[in-house]
Amino acid sequence: MENSKGSPKTRKDFKEMVKDIRIAMLCTITSEGYIHSRPMGTSDVDEEGNIWFFTSESSQKINEVEDNSNVSVCYADPDDNTYVCVMGTAQIVHDRKKIDELWNPALKIWFPEGKEDPEIVLIKIDPISAEYWDSSSSKMVVLFNMAKALVTGKEYDEGEYGKINL
Q: pLDDT tens digits for 35-58?
A: 999 999 999 999 999 999 999 999
CA angle centred on 47, ends 71 and 30, rounded to 5°:
10
Q: What is the pTM of this model?
A: 0.81
Residue 5, pLDDT > 60, answer no
> Using DSSP, how many helices (H) and how many strands (E) does the chain show?
4, 9
Evaluate if residue 144 carries a pLDDT over 80. Answer: no
Structural domains present in the chain: 9-165 (2.30.110.10)
Burial class of 36 by CB neighbour count within 10 A (0 to 12, 13 to 18, 19+) = middle
